[in-house]
Each structure stands twice: as C-alpha cells, then as structure tokens.
Amino acid sequence: MTEPSATENGIEVYLQPIGRRILIPPGQNLLDAAREAGVELMSLCGGEGLCDSCHIRVVEGELSPITQAERNFFSETELQDGHRLACQAIPLNNVKIDVPSQSLTTPQRLQLEGIEAEVDLNPPVIGVDVHVTPPTLEDLRSDATRLEDAIQEVDSLPMIGHRTLRVLPHILRENEWSLRAVLRESEVVGFLPSETKLYGLAVDVGTTKLAAYLVDIAQGETVAKIGDMNPQIAYGEDVVSRIAYVNKHADGGHTLQSKLIEVLNGMMGDLCSQAGVTQDQILEVVVVGNTVMHHLFAGFPVRQLGESPYVPVLTEPVEIQAAYLDLKVAPGAYVYLPPNIAGYVGADHVAMLISTRVWETDQTTLAVDIGTNTEITLATGGRLLSCSCASGPAFEGAHIRDGMRAAPGAIERVQFLNGEAHLQTIGNIPPVGICGSGILDAVAGMLTEGLLDQRGVLQGDDPRFLKVDDKGAFILSPAAQNGHDRDILVTRSDVNEIQLAKGAIRTGIDILLMEGGIPLDSVDRLIIAGAFGTYIDIESAINVSMFPDLPRDRFEQVGNAAGAGARDLLISTTLRQKAEEIARKVEYVELTTHPEFTRSYMERLYFNQ
C-alpha cells in the first residue's frame, strides 16, 4: 500500500477502484482532476454542488474543508466517513479516492461471460405444492404440524427451519391454505404462493470484481447477470492488504464483510428487477472466491491466512443460512460455499475446475486462473496437482506507472506495425492508461522489436526512449497524440513488474509439470480463465514466456470459469459432491518450499522459453 505524501511534481490522486494514479496541480478540484486524466465522473449540475452525482469518498489523505453544498447531501456520519462531492473537494496532499460505480459515466469492464457446459440438473431445492386443511376449534394442530402432515402425504416428513416458520401463518392465510413449500433435502426453507418459480443466485467474489448470476433453478437457465466492483478495494487492493486491514482494525473483518454484502444485496436487487423476480424467490445461493474472499464473506478470521504456514479456518464446504449473513433472499435460504484446497487455492479455483470439467478429461490439462494470485492445476492420469503463484497485481494495472484497470480509455491492445505501436483502447476513446493485456502486449512487442533484451533492459537509442527518475522508459502514447498533455510510458520498472508476474506463473507451470512427471509438449490443453486471461493475446503471453510455446489450438480462453462453476454448483448437487471429491483429491504443491522453486524462478524472470 502506498502511503500518501506530498511530491515535488504536484499532488497525487489515486482513483479507486479503477486503479488510476494522476498528478494534479494544487488547487484543482477532484472533478476537474479526474476529467483531465480521462476518468469521466458524472456531473449533472455541471460541478456547481447542486446535485450529488459526482459523489466520491476519500479513503486516505486530506481534502479542503466540507462545504455547505456537501452538508446538503450527506449526513454527519457520511461526512465523517469521508463522503464528499468531487466538484467541491480539493486535495491538500496526496489522496486516495474511492469512486463508486454510479459516479462514473462509463462503467469498468467486468467479465461475466463464461462457458456453460451441459449439467446434470439436480438442484438442491425443489418446490412442492400442497393444500393444507385450515384449523378449527376441533382441529387445533399448529400451523407447522398441519403443513408437515400435508407435505408428508406427497413427500417425506420435513423439518421447518425457524426463520421460515416466521412467514408461515401469514402466507397460509393469505393464500387460502394452499402454498408451495420449498424443500432442501428434508428441510423446508421457504414458502411461496403455489407454482411460483424458484431461483438461485451464483456469485463470484473476486478480490477486485464481483459477478452475480440469477438462475432459474428448476430449468438451470441463467436469466440475468450483473457485475460490479468489490467495495473492499477501498480497504486494500489485494488480499494481503485486506488481511492487514483486518489485523489493524478491531471490527475490520465485519466492516469488509458488511460492505461486500451491501453491494451484493444491491446487485441482487438489480438482477431481480431485470428478471421480474422477487428476492423471496431466491432459495439458494452459491458463493465462490479465493480463500481470503471466502473467509471474509463467511465472517471467518483471516489473520492466520497472512502468516506462514497460511492455513485456512476450514477447507470443507460450508452451508450458512443467508439470513445470518444479511443477504436479502428468502429468509430460510442457504448459502453454499464450495471447499477450499489451501490458503491460496480457494473455492473459486474448485469452481473453475468444475466448470471446465478438468476432472473428467483423459487429456493432460493445465488450468490457469490468472489474478493477483494465479492458481494452476495440472490434471494428468487421474491426478490433480495444484499450486498458487504470487503473480502480483501488475496484470490488474497496479504497480505499473501508467497502469489502470480495464476501464474506458485503458490501452488494452498494442501491436507494432512497421516499428510503430498501434494502440486500441477500451471504448475507443483517447488513451488514459494501460491495463493488463495492454502492458503484456507492449512488453511482448518491445521484445520482438528488439527494444528490450531478454533481461528486460531497454536496447539501443530509439527516439521514443526517455529517462524517468534516471531510468529508461518507452513512450507508448505521446502526449501530443492522446490529448492529455502527458505521455503514457512503459518504464523499466513496468517491464520488471511483468517479469516478476510472468516468472511466477511460468515457475508454477514448470514445477507442476515436474511433479506430475509430464514433459512440456505432452500438455494437451492449456485452459486460461479469469478476466485478464480472457483478454490477453496468447501470442504475447508466449512471447514473454509466460506460457510454453505449445501449438496454439491447445489454448482455450474460457472467461469467468469460476462464475460458471458457481452456476453449475447452484443447480447440481451431483457437482457439489464432485467438488468435494476434487478438493480432497487435489495434491497441493507448496511452491515456496519446493527445492526447485528458486532456481526455476530466477531463470523464468528472463524472457526466454
């Protein structure tokens, strides 16, 4: 985490969650500053403080005093919590600002699509329509007993959870003693008017992004999907800084949990309006995430995940009542969290293995989920070997001088044609910064063009080279062309960050293959999942030797495979059993203590196959 401090060149404004750092002159307000950097904030009143559309929150650093305009829109508690209007607030020193997605004119790109394989439909909840005999002074059975009796006539004797019982008297009388009881094994988890459709919610909680899918649980069809940013970003960019936040703040775990739940409830509300469904119709939830996200969501402690030997509280699957987590779904619904494999190979990787069906293939397969931590599984000859590589946040645009997340204006593709860099940005607008796939392309291109050597050192004296802080840099987008009065650069440090990231991933692949006794060219499939993995150019990834130089048709980019796995686990209890089998079966390979790790990593920092 960068601590804010004054710099000579001006005041640094770090815009979260899009991950853009900008330098502004003293006295400039945040609305203007963001706009000049190409980050378009909403501003319905034109920056007059007459509306709250440019609502932001200061996370670190000092802003100018609160104005009356801001007092009109925010409560005392909100003001204390750092809520401000961008048009009113002027940074007094380096600041970190949280920009909620509603305040952005164009949202960040979120990866929602993923493969949808055939699923053996076998949902955990089913609806049973019954008619119940109303009570009389001669038949004084309780509401619960008479319902249980009615269900027993068509199914086995159920148990009714006490949260569910709370709505029973009303719904029985409102619907003239006919209703649909929702059974989850032998437990009644919900009541609805007869023949009401049942839905489930699948959620992928990424460290950065959230994806949620509303699924018709009887049909197995996704009826709506939505993405949003993980609001925990305001408390730490990566899992390590979130653990640090929780360790430092007594109620930190609860804060991170409730911020996340609040956003998930909002997403659920949107999904329900999209599909014309009520939240009471959501009877089951599946949440996947890495082990830290999993623990924070469930309210488990995370301190021990930040300390060697990084053990999770538990690896078994968890079922929690949704109401206990304040998720606004049917009051008796459960949340299923798939098993974790280890402290740094979480339920999201299990979900990815489920959706890619890696476990049922005879082919030797590498499944790679690239993120701040990259999880890799090698499936070969009935074995599953998994590891986690600390690939770092470079591919999320962090730790890169002009890096940013995959939001509008991000350079996402770089091609060198006749020695000249051709850029493509998200939204086809003038470039604002570089996102993960862009920086990978840029570095790969610079290698091919001979602008970089294998150690990552700038070669020759290309006119596009300049010095920044005494180190070399390459002008990717000159100020004159991008209209922002500021060159967009690829620095020597940026190249080093990519070396660290790709080196970690490649070392993971090497060691897994070594442990599996598999020669490189015996890999039949290399599956790449995750948002970054979807957008990268395979050629570039091979160029920088992040991936082995296999025939290109062996690579598959599968999108949000964790989200797809969450959907699979929502509609199939058979796959839940499979997930538990997988988690038990996986041989976890700890890289950091592996005898080959250091040697391999040192070698893989260089750009050579």
Nearer to its own copies (CB atom), residue 109 or residue 594: 594
Q: 347-355 and 561-571 are packed helices; what angle lies between their axes, rounded to 10 degrees?
A: 80
Interface with its own copies includes 585 (CB under 8 A)? no
Q: Which stretch binds its own copies (CB under 8 A): 26-34, 106-114, 315-323, 386-394?
A: 315-323
Interface with its own copies includes 303 (CB under 8 A)? yes
Q: Which stretch binds its own copies (CB under 8 A): 45-53, 338-346, 399-407, 558-566?
A: 338-346
How far is Cα 161 from Cα 167, in angstroms, rounded to an integer?
11
C-beta of residue 296 within 8 angstroms of C-beta of residue 302: yes
How far is Cα 396 from Cα 307, in angstroms, rounded to an integer?
24
Interface with its own copies includes 311 (CB under 8 A)? yes
Interface with its own copies includes 340 (CB under 8 A)? yes
Interface with its own copies includes 606 (CB under 8 A)? no
CA distances for 435 relative to 101, 340, 413, angstroms: 18, 30, 9
How far is Cα 498 from Cα 391, in angstroms, rounded to an integer?
9
Nearer to its own copies (CB atom), residue 173 or residue 455: 173
Which one of 87, 89, 97, 168 is in contact with its own copies (CB under 8 A)? 168
Nearer to its own copies (CB atom), residue 257 or residue 560: 257
Q: Which stretch binds its own copies (CB under 8 A): 31-39, 71-79, 300-308, 525-533?
A: 300-308
Interface with its own copies includes 157 (CB under 8 A)? no
How far is Cα 301 from Cα 289, in angstroms, rounded to an integer?
15
Helix (H) or strand (E) holding 474, with range, is strand 471-477
Which one of 14, 245, 297, 300 is in contact with its own copies (CB under 8 A)? 300
Nearer to its own copies (CB atom), residue 116 or residue 316: 316
Interface with its own copies includes 390 (CB under 8 A)? no
Laid out side by side, the sheet with 159-160 consists of: 125-131, 178-184, 187-192, 159-160
- Give, as one character, the DSSP assignment of residue 104: B
Nearer to its own copies (CB atom), residue 10 or residue 135: 135
Token digits for 467? Answer: 């010095």
By residue count, the chain amounts to: 609
Token digits for 18? Answer: 């899009």
How far is Cα 321 from Cα 447, in angstroms, rounded to an integer?
53
Interface with its own copies includes 250 (CB under 8 A)? no
Interface with its own copies includes 169 (CB under 8 A)? yes
How far is Cα 590 from Cα 583, in angstroms, rounded to an integer?
15
Q: Which stretch binds its own copies (CB under 8 A): 24-32, 106-114, 304-312, 376-384?
A: 304-312
Interface with its own copies includes 135 (CB under 8 A)? yes
Helix (H) or strand (E) holding 538, with range, is helix 538-543
Site size toward its own copies (CB under 8 A) is 45
Interface with its own copies includes 160 (CB under 8 A)? yes
How far is Cα 255 from Cα 81, in angstroms, rounded to an integer?
13
Minimum distance between the CB of residue 304 and its own copies, rounded to whole angstroms?
5
For its own copies, the binding residues (CB under 8 A) are 135-137, 140-145, 160, 162-163, 165-170, 173, 298-301, 303-304, 308-316, 318, 320, 323-324, 340, 342-343, 588, 590, 592-593
